[in-house]
A = this chain, B = another copy of it.
């Protein structure tokens, strides 16, 4: 579409906003006009927060989570169980698992998942540093918490192979029927797995 903008400044702003994932040119225009309606301090604060994030953000030297210091608050917390390491794709998953309040171990953020289609190989991920953590001997269990997709399974298997020389327990998060789901509507692969991997009723009511 050769949409003409009445102002070059507006066009630049729309170009930048529409470069964000999921933001089209119509939405970008709406956002730019919204900024024009707010006072100037709003846009300045908005821009400063984004620049500060990009410039000053750090990654935890241990688990590669995003943080403001050299070591993230989870790795630095003496209450957390350092011997249990949960392997996740990205920081969104760290936040999601932290929200459950069910995990007291620490994390290892891979920064992605093996995906040949997207050109992401094992070398692009923080797998070597995970192996190093295990080799250092402090880790007793590695919990794989990647997406239950083909890419996730591939990455799980790659990590499993890399860690097999070490004396470490490797587990994977439970896959089964979601809480609140009706059995009738569960897909057959999920339902099949949930029957094969059934757990003791006693264990299941602990939470």
Contact = CB atoms under 8 A, between A and B. Distances in A.
Interface of A: 3-10, 12-13, 15-17, 19-22, 27, 29-36, 40, 42-58, 65-68, 72-74, 90-92, 94-95, 98-99
B94 A52 contact: no
Contacts of A47: 46-48, 50-51
9 contacts: A10-B53, A17-B50, A21-B31, A21-B34, A29-B92, A33-B91, A36-B54, A43-B53, A43-B54
Contacts of A32: 50, 53
Contacts of A34: 20-21
A71 to B, nearest CB: 11
A34 B16 CA distance: 13
Contacts of A50: 13, 16-17, 32, 35, 43, 46-47
Find the residue from A10, A46, A50, A73 having the highest chain B CB count within 10 A: A50
Given A36-B57, A95-B5, A66 B10 contact: yes
A29 B13 CA distance: 21
A90 B42 CA distance: 21
Contacts of A46: 16-17, 19, 47, 50
> Interface centre among A48, A57, A67, by most B CB within 10 Å?
A57
Contacts of A54: 35-36, 40, 43-44
Q: Please provide the 9 A-B residue pairs with the shortest distance between their CB atoms, ordered closest to farther.
A: A47-B47, A43-B54, A13-B53, A16-B49, A12-B49, A16-B46, A9-B53, A7-B66, A13-B49
A98 B4 contact: yes
A95 B126 CA distance: 48
A95 B7 CA distance: 11
Contacts of A3: 95, 99
Contacts of A53: 9-10, 12-13, 32, 35-36, 43
